[in-house]
């Protein structure tokens, strides 16, 4: 500490202001055409409307922001953490034994909390859908290290499989759900087979292309999917055969009738809430378990070094394919849930942005971190929902956040990896205590 | 036959635009080994800057077309280049040496940001511009079907050719070009012999962005309508072009662009227009499976 | 006793027979018609100046490259003959039990030392887990198999002196330990042929001596063949039973350490045309080291 104080030179104010001025100038150039000169529709063509105030505002923000940033860096000095794992991740993981169960208990009792109105439940269902999608994608991206930018394709396949099966063959949700998952997994295999040997960013682009292809097909295959009009009247789920309608029709007993309670539209919401909670927890339990099996370890090994895997006789194609197919399967389950919850689906729900949001949930959380995904889903889906008036800025902030988080923590917020098996049992804080001690000694 | 010739002309024109964007992908990939995911948005911004410049020139009363075109092109290249520079500075440079995934994701974030930024600032509505370059030759066919070769198409092909020649000269004969090629070969070694790697990478983004700006201007003039979303599809297709031609190879990018343009136009003309994008993606997949090094690229031998 | 075994080379059956191996990359001929054989329970060293094609031979043997011409026959003591040049990359370690290490260590850095060793037993465990389904259901067969796998890993951790580090990230180990771990990982595959690509590179003399003992132990106690690429002549000359010398992709000498040491063509290849007669080993070593430093 003392040496740090001694080494610190005076703050170079002129330099900082100069830097800030340069930043402001760059922002001026960037903002001048796009922000400063807005094209407006006028009679007889487009007109240009100048907005110098906006440019000036951006420049001011850039100037001040840069100064604050420089000062922040100066005061923090060179005490930047070099640790590859995030320390937050370590701490959360340390308490994972009870953070996880506590979260689950909270999730289970949430619908009966006094503050849990219909709106809160709706947002929670959304968040849980993305938690499930995030956990599903985590198998592909976090464990196997395959960057899939077309995950929404499997979500779409699941949703349309459910909707089409239910509408055309009158099958119940519980029959359609596994079938939708199977369809999505099969799709994952068909798509994955030719492309999985591609290197990282090639794979990213190809999966992105696949996502778009599925959407284009959904839009244009009118006879099957009703194209852009979408499928409406998708059957709602029933509680083991008991529908949630007020008047379900002749001879059919309804949920409230069977249990002898008053009809309330919230019943269905609560049911959907528990449905997605269970689906998400199944996804999590599956992932936690498969991580400790040979195939799960091989996924992580492939992520680390594919060449070394080849030399150990691991079949990279099959291994990746299982990751891809299983990830797709959970995407398909989530898609079925989405269809039954909305009652209406159209290709508009399955754009690239959706893939990007799911990926963001995984990456922001810390690749491979299950709790991180929950945290990220709450932040990305829940928080913007609570600020609805800022809706139009949502994607803007979202994109910027993606960049900033990657710069700040290239490995995600809660990147921490617990070995899948240990030779020595570790007391809860023993390992960390020792590490900290050795770090302090250095 | 006339119909075929017409589609050929249209395909080459579209291909020239794709080729210009593809060069940006190929150069950035060559030097940092990563896909510049936000390059499509740079193209989109290029076309917006040119649109605004055109409207301004109209207000200022610059009516002599060649002068107006030249000014617009220069302005578009300049402003868009700053976007390219900032993109590298913000989304790539801090992440050099981080996992590849991180840089790719930050580039995707940048792409989403730029798209929404333009949407917020310029509105979500499409921006139509009345045809600026009008007229053309009628190459009369026999069956009464007129093959049209518009001045706009001629302009696009000529500008692309001139830029390519100028560009190849820069790469092969200037100090900057040499530095660029050296960094492609071995970034560490280039740094050791005193090449400013940071600046060279920045310049690569700047050059790529200015070519994309020209492509954006051509696109705007050719189709007469743009919106904030054009960068997404154009970007993917140009990337396909770069891969098809062999990523890292400049002539490959142009060749790939031409092929993608032709395929897209012929597919629309003879099959179904709805599935033209599917055709482009399928080609990308096929190329990557059967010839990952592209048509003119060198195959990579993995050292173990 | 040990050395006696090593000298009586005639007794051991041939494990690997390389015939007319040629590898071309475009116009470049990296290996030109090389034939040699390696015997079971022997250490066969491949030496030669940089760019001689040693690693390329390894890459052909372990399926990373498909040879342009040639026959690579492995006589597996239990499973019969394998023609390696016809097998798809990863099936060579999987079916023919050929393990290898890499010139620049390739571990799974973010995974623990123990996990690295468990992954090496992937195929065995995969079968035991009923291709994941049995494992998901928590069947006992898989749990037993995993326990056995951990026992094997423990054995090699003990041998290599890495037991204390078992739960650490592999990437956090010091360089010498990473090299050891890579050998342990290869041995956890229970191979019949172990291919080591410069295992002594970057080791200090004490570690290098330790490595010699490990390799002799593996040869004698585990009774497998070892194929070794090495620049460190102190390692090569001490432990090899048989040496193959490559230069510019061709084989220039083949025989016991004694024969190779005195072969004029070998000396020329290493030291240039003018030299005749043998240089003191330390001078020779220095020259080789210099050459290497310039290359890398």
CATH number at residue A389: 1.10.3470
- Alpha-carbon span B46 to B214, nearest angstrom: 7
Q: What is the mean pLDDT of residues C78-91?
A: 83
Question: Nearest C-alpha of chain B: how many angstroms from A221?
Answer: 10
User: Which tens digits make up the pLDDT trace of A18-66?
Assistant: 888 888 899 988 888 888 888 887 777 778 888 888 888 899 998 999 8
Residue B28, classified by CB atoms within 10 Å of its CB into exposed (0-12), middle (13-18) or buried (19+), is: buried
> Which pLDDT belongs to residue C79?
85
What angle in degrees, to the nearest 10, is found between the helix axes of A352-365 and A200-220?
140
Alpha helices in A84-151 (DSSP H): 87-94, 96-109, 118-138
Burial class (CB in 10 A: 0-12, 13-18, 19+), B163: buried
Which two three-digit tokens encode residue B117? Answer: 């930024």
DSSP H or E run through B255: helix B250-270
Instruction: Please state the rounded mean pLDDT for residues A325-331.
Output: 93
CA distance to partner chain B, nearest, from residue C25 (Å)? 9
- Residue A114: phi and psi, rounded to 5, are -60, -35
Nearest-Cα distance to chain A for B275, in Å, is 7
- Same domain? For A323 and A364 the reply is yes
Task: Report yes or no on B86 lying in a domain.
Answer: yes
Cβ contacts of A79 within 8 Å, gap of 6 or more: A4
At residue A281, the 3 state secondary structure works out as helix
Do A231 and A196 lie in a common domain?
Answer: yes
> B224 and B38 in contact (C-beta within 8 Å)?
no
pLDDT category of residue B214 using cuts at 50, 70 and 90? very high
* CB half-sphere exposure, B100, CA atoms < 13 A: 19
Structure tokens at A202: 């090639």
Chosen for mutation from C108, C150, C163 (greatest number of chain A CBs closer than 10 Å) is: C108
Check B302 against C64: CB less than 8 A apart: yes
Contact C53, C246 (CB under 8 A): yes
**Is A155:A380 a contact under the CB 8 Å cutoff?**
no
Tens of pLDDT, residues A209-244: 888 888 888 888 888 888 788 787 777 777 766 777
Name the B residues in 245-284 with CB < 8 Å from any A CB. Answer: 272, 274-275, 277-278, 281-282, 284
| A85 pLDDT above the threshold of 50 | no
Chains linked to C by 3 or more Cβ pairs within 8 Å: A, B
Looking at the fold, whether A26 and A160 belong to one and the same domain comes out as no
For residue B302, is it within any domain?
Answer: no
Q: Is A440 part of the contact surface with chain B (CB cutoff 8 Å)? A: no
Paired tokens of A409: 């923590």
Please report residues of A whose CB lies closer than 8 A to that of C61.
Answer: none
Measured in angstroms, the CA of B125 and the nearest CA of chain A are apart by 9
Write out chain A residues lying below 8 Å of B48, CB-based: 33-34
Contact at CB, C114 and A421, closer than 8 angstroms? yes
Q: How many CB pairs under 8 A join B and C?
A: 7
Taking the Cβ of residue C102 and every Cβ of chain B, the question of whether any pair is shorter than 8 Å is answered with yes
- A289 and A332: one domain? yes
Q: Which chains touch B (3 or more CB pairs under 8 A)?
A: A, C
**Residue C205 exposed, middle or buried by CB count within 10 Å (0-12, 13-18, 19+):** exposed
- Measure the CA–CA gap between A211 and A199, rounded to whole angstroms: 18
Give the gap in angstroms from C-alpha A260 to the nearest C-alpha of chain C.
39
Question: Using CB atoms, which residue from A149, A195, A400 is nearest to B285?
Answer: A195
Q: Which of residues 149-188 of C touch A (CB under 8 A)?
A: 150, 154, 157, 163, 166-167, 185-186
Q: How far, in Å, CA of B163 to CA of B213, rounded?
A: 12
Name the strands in the sheet holding C242-247, side by side, starting at the edge strand that comes first in the sequence: C98-100, C193-197, C225-229, C43-47, C242-247, C250-255
- Confidence tier at C239 by pLDDT (50, 70, 90): confident
Is residue A3 in a domain?
A: no
Give domain status of residue A357, yes or no.
yes
Q: Determine what percent of chain A is predicted with pLDDT higher than 90.
A: 12
Q: Which of A390, A364, A387, A386 is nearest to A377 (CA)?
A: A364
Asked whether residue A427 is domain-assigned, the answer is no
pLDDT class for A440, splitting at 50, 70, 90? very low
CB distance C174 to C202 below 8 Å: no
Contact A293 C154 (CB under 8 A): no
The pLDDT assigned to A82 comes to 44
CA Rg value for chain A: 26
Q: How many domains does chain B have?
A: 1
CATH assignment at residue B38: 1.10.3470
* Closest residue in chain B to residue C105, using alpha carbons only: B304
In the predicted model, is pLDDT for residue A320 greater than 50?
Answer: yes
> Are A150 and A253 within one domain?
yes
Distance CA C170, CA C184 (A): 12
Of the ranges A4-13, A291-300, C221-230, which one carries the lowest mean pLDDT score?
A4-13
DSSP string, A220-270: H-HHHH-GGG-EE-PPPP-BTTB---SS--TT---HHHHHT----THHHHH
pLDDT at A415 over 80: no
Mark whether A108 and A72 lie in a shared domain: no
DSSP states of B167-212: HHHHHHHSHHHHHHHHHHH-HHHHHHTT--HHHHHHHHHHHHHHHH
Interface A-C: count of C-beta contacts within 8 A: 119
Calpha distance B22→C248 (Å, rounded): 41
pLDDT confidence tier of residue B101, bands split at 50, 70 and 90: confident
A340 occurs within a structural domain: yes
**C27–chain B nearest CA distance, Å:** 13
Which of A302, B300, B304 minimizes the C-alpha distance to C61? B304
Cβ atoms C245, C48 nearer than 8 A: yes
Residue B299 in domain: no
> Of A39, A195, A360, which has the smallest distance from its Cβ to B55's Cβ?
A39
Is B301 an 8 Å CB contact of chain C? Answer: yes
One domain for residues A323 and A376? yes
- Beta strands C43-47 and C225-229: pairing type? parallel
The answer as to whether A298 is a domain residue is yes
Dihedral of CA C2/C8/C9/C12: which sign?
Answer: negative
Q: With helix as H, strand as E and coil as C, how does C211-249 read?
A: HHHHHHHHHHHCCCEEEEECCCHHHHHHHCCEEEEEECC
In degrees, to the nearest 5, what angle opens at C-alpha A55 toward C-alphas A51 and A56? 110
B150-166 pLDDT, tens digit per residue, is 888 898 999 989 988 88
Chain B contact present for A212, CB below 8 A: yes
Question: C90 Cβ partners below 8 Å, 6+ apart?
Answer: A309, A310, A313, A314, A315, A316, C63
Cβ A149–B108 below 8 Å, yes or no?
Answer: yes
* Number of domains observed in the structure of chain A: 2
Taking only residues 34 to 73 of chain B, the set having a beta carbon closer than 8 angstroms to any beta carbon of chain A reads: 34-35, 45, 48-49, 51-53, 55-56, 59
The contacts of residue B141 (CB under 8 Å, 6+ apart) are B1, B2, B5, B147
Q: Are residues A220 and A345 in the same domain?
A: yes
Distance of CA B112 to the CA centre of its chain: 18
Q: What's residue A338's pLDDT?
A: 92
Q: How far is C111 from chain A (nearest CA, A)?
A: 7
- In sequence order, what are the beta bridge partners of C31? C23
Task: Kindly report whether the global pTM for this prediction surpasses the value 0.95.
Answer: no
The yes-or-no verdict on residue C270 having pLDDT over 80 is: no
Say whether both A104 and A45 belong to one domain: no
The pLDDT confidence band at residue B21, using thresholds 50, 70 and 90, is: very high
Residues of B in contact with C64 (CB under 8 A): 302, 304
**Where does the pLDDT of residue A246 fall: very low under 50, low under 70, confident under 90, or very high at 90 and above?**
low
**Kindly report the CA angle at A142 between C136 and A393, in degrees rounded to 5?**
130
A342-351: average pLDDT: 86
What pLDDT sits at residue C6? 44
pLDDT at A432: 43
From chain C, the residues in CB contact with A297 under 8 A are: 111, 115, 118-119, 122
Which residues of A, range 386-425, sit inside 8 Å of C by Cβ?
417, 419-424
Rounded to the nearest integer, the mean pLDDT of chain B is: 86
pLDDT at A289: 86
C34 to chain A, any CB pair closer than 8 A? The answer is: no
CA–CA distance, B197 with B269 (Å, rounded to integer):
46
DSSP assignment, residue C171? G
Mean pLDDT of C171-197: 89
Q: Give the residue from A308, A367, A412, A415 with the most C CB atoms within 10 Å of its CB, the best one to mutate.
A: A308
> Hey, is the C-beta of A44 within 8 angstroms of any chain B C-beta?
no
**Residues of B whose CB is below 8 A from A211:** none
Task: Tell if the CB–CB gap between C112 and A419 is shorter than 8 Å.
Answer: yes
The verdict on residue A373 lying in a domain is yes
Evaluate whether residue A1 is within a structural domain: no
Task: Answer whether residue A436 shows pLDDT above 70.
Answer: no
Q: For chain B, give the percent of residues with pLDDT over 90.
A: 26
> Which candidate from C108, C120, C157 shows the least CB-CB separation from A304?
C108
Residues A144, A273, single domain; the answer is yes
Contacts of B304 in chain C (CB under 8 A): 55, 59, 64, 102, 106
Chain B residues within an 8 Å CB radius of A141: 101
- Both A245 and A145 in one domain: the answer is yes
> With an 8 Å Cβ cutoff, are B101 and A200 in contact?
yes
Report the distance separating Cα A287 and Cα A73, nearest Å. 40
- pLDDT single digits (tens) A361-397: 888 887 777 888 888 888 888 777 766 667 778 788 8
Residues A348, A383 within the same domain: yes
Do residues A58 and A337 make contact, with C-beta atoms less than 8 angstroms apart?
no
Chain C residue at shortest CA distance from A304: C108
* Whole-angstrom distance, CA of residue A49 vs CA of residue B49: 14
Q: How far is A252 from chain B (nearest CA, A)?
A: 45
Q: Which two tokens stand for residue A79?
A: 């005490």
Model pLDDT, residue B97: 79
Show residues of chain A in contact with C157, CB under 8 Å: 423
Q: Is A100 left (phi over 0), alpha (psi -120 to 50) or beta?
A: alpha
| H-helix or E-strand spanning residue C20 | strand C14-25
Is B158 a domain residue?
yes
Which residues of chain A have a CB within 8 Å of the CB of C154? Answer: 423
pLDDT band at C10 (very low <50, low <70, confident <90, very high): low
Who wins on pLDDT, A113 or C225? C225
pLDDT score, position A84:
44
Residue B199 neighbours by CB under 8 Å, 6+ apart = none
Q: Tell me what pLDDT residue B81 has.
A: 95
Enclosing domain of residue A126: 99-408
Q: Which residues of chain A make contact with B44, given a CB cutoff of 8 A?
A: none
Last residue of a domain, one of A76, A107, A132: A76
Any bridge partners for residue B52, and if so which?
Answer: none
Answer whether A403 sits within 8 Å of B106, measured CB to CB.
yes
pLDDT in tens, B185-199: 788 888 888 888 888
Q: Which residue of A has its CA nearest to C139?
A: A293
B296 domain residue, yes or no: no
User: CA-CA distance, B168 to B177, in Å (whole number)?
Assistant: 9
Rg for chain C (alpha carbons), in Å?
20
With contact defined as 3+ CB pairs under 8 Å, the chains touching A are: B, C
Backbone φ and ψ for B126, nearest 5 degrees, come out as -70, 150
Say if B234 is an interface residue toward chain A (CB within 8 Å).
no
- Pick the residue from chain B with its C-alpha nearest to A36: B121
Helix (H, G, I), strand (E, B) or coil at B74: helix
């Amino acid at each position: 500490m003392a040496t740090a104080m001694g080494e610190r030179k005076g703050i170079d104010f002129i330099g900082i202001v100069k830097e800030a001025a340069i930043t402001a100038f760059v922002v001026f150039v960037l903002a001048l055409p796009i922000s400063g000169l807005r094209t407006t529709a006028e009679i007889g063509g487009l007109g240009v409307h100048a907005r110098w105030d906006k440019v000036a505002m951006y420049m001011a923000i850039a100037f001040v922001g840069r100064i604050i940033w420089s000062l922040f860096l100066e005061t923090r000095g060179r005490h930047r953490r070099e640790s590859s794992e995030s320390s937050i991740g370590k701490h959360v993981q340390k308490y994972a034994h009870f953070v996880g169960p506590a979260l689950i208990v909270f999730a289970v009792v949430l619908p009966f909390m006094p503050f849990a109105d219909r709106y809160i439940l709706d947002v929670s269902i959304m968040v849980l859908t993305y938690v499930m999608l995030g956990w599903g994608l985590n198998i592909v991206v976090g464990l196997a290290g395959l960057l899939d930018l077309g995950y929404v394709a499997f979500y779409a396949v699941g949703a349309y499989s459910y909707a089409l099966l239910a509408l055309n063959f009158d099958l119940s949700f519980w029959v359609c759900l596994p079938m939708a998952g199977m369809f999505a997994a099969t799709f994952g295999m068909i798509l994955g087979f030719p492309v999985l040997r591609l290197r990282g960013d090639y794979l990213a682009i190809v999966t992105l292309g696949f996502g778009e292809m599925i959407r284009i097909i959904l839009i244009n295959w009118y006879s099957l999917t009703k194209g852009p009009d979408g499928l409406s009247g998708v059957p709602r789920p029933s509680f083991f055969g008991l529908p949630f309608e007020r008047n379900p029709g002749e001879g059919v007993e309804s949920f409230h009738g069977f249990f002898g309670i008053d009809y309330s539209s919230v019943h269905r919401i609560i049911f959907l809430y528990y449905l997605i909670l269970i689906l998400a927890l199944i996804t999590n339990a599956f992932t936690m378990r498969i991580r400790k099996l040979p195939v799960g370890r091989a996924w992580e090994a492939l992520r680390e070094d594919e060449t070394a895997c080849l030399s150990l006789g691991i079949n990279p194609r099959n291994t990746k394919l299982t990751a891809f197919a299983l990830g797709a399967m959970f995407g398909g389950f989530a898609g079925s849930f989405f269809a039954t919850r909305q009652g209406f689906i159209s290709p508009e729900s399955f754009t690239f942005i959706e893939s990007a949001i799911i990926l963001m949930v995984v990456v922001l959380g810390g690749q491979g971190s299950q709790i991180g995904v929950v945290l990220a889903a709450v932040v990305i889906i829940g928080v913007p929902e609570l600020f609805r008036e800022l809706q139009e800025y949502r994607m803007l902030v979202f994109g910027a956040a993606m960049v900033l988080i990657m710069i700040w923590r290239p490995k995600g917020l809660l990147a921490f990896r617990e070995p899948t098996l240990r030779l020595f049992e570790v007391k809860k804080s023993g390992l960390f205590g020792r590490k900290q001690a050795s770090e302090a000694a250095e | 036959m006339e119909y075929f010739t017409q589609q050929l002309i249209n395909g080459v024109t579209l291909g020239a635009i794709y080729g210009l964007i593809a060069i940006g992908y190929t150069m950035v990939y060559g030097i940092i080994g990563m896909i510049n995911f936000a390059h499509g948005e740079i193209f989109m911004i290029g076309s917006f800057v040119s649109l605004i410049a055109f409207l301004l020139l109209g207000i200022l009363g610059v009516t002599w077309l060649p002068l107006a075109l030249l000014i617009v092109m220069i302005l578009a290249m300049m402003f868009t280049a700053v976007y390219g520079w900032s993109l590298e500075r913000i989304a790539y440079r801090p992440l050099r040496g981080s996992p590849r995934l991180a840089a790719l994701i930050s580039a995707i974030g940048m792409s989403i940001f730029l798209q929404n930024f333009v949407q917020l600032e310029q509105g979500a509505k499409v921006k139509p511009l009345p045809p600026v370059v009008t007229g053309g030759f009628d190459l009369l066919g026999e069956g009464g079907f007129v093959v049209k070769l518009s001045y706009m198409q001629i302009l696009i092909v000529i500008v692309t050719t001139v830029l390519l020649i100028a560009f190849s000269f820069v790469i092969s004969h200037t100090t900057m070009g040499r530095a660029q090629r050296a960094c492609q070969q071995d970034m560490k070694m280039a740094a050791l012999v005193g090449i400013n790697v940071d600046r060279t990478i920045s310049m690569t983004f700047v050059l790529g962005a200015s070519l994309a700006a020209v492509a954006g201007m051509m696109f705007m003039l050719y189709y007469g309508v743009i919106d904030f979303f054009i960068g997404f599809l154009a970007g993917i297709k140009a990337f396909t072009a770069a891969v098809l031609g062999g990523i890292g190879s400049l002539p490959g990018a142009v060749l790939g662009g031409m092929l993608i343009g032709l395929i897209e136009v012929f597919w629309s003309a003879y099959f179904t227009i709805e599935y033209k994008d599917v055709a482009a993606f399928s080609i990308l997949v096929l190329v990557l499976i059967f010839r990952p090094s592209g048509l003119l690229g060198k195959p990579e031998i993995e050292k173990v | 006793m040990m050395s006696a075994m090593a000298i009586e080379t005639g007794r051991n059956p041939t494990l690997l027979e390389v015939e007319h191996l040629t590898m071309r990359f475009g116009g470049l001929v990296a290996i030109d018609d090389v034939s040699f054989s390696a015997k079971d329970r022997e250490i066969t060293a491949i030496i030669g100046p940089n760019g001689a094609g040693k690693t390329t031979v390894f890459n052909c043997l372990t399926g990373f490259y498909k040879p342009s011409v040639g026959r690579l026959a492995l006589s597996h003591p239990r499973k019969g003959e394998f023609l390696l040049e016809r097998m798809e990359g990863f099936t060579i370690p999987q079916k023919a039990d050929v393990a290898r290490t890499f010139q620049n260590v390739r571990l799974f850095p973010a995974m623990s030392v123990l996990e690295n060793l468990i992954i090496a037993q992937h195929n065995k465990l995969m079968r035991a887990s009923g291709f994941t389904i049995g494992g998901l259901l928590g069947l006992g067969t898989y749990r037993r198999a995993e326990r056995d796998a951990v026992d094997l890993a423990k054995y090699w951790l003990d041998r290599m002196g890495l037991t204390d580090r078992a739960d650490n990230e592999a990437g956090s180990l010091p360089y010498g330990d990473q090299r050891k771990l890579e050998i342990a990982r290869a041995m956890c595959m229970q191979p019949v042929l172990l291919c080591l690509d410069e295992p002594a590179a970057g080791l200090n003399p004490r570690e290098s001596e330790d490595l010699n003992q490990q390799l002799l132990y593996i040869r004698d106690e585990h009774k497998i063949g070892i194929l070794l690429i090495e620049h460190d002549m102190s390692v090569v000359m001490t432990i090899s039973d048989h040496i193959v010398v490559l230069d510019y992709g061709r084989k220039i000498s083949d025989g016991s350490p004694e024969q190779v040491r005195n072969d004029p063509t070998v000396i020329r290849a290493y030291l240039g045309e003018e030299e005749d007669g043998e240089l003191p080993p330390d001078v020779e070593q220095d020259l080789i080291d210099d050459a290497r430093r310039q290359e890398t």
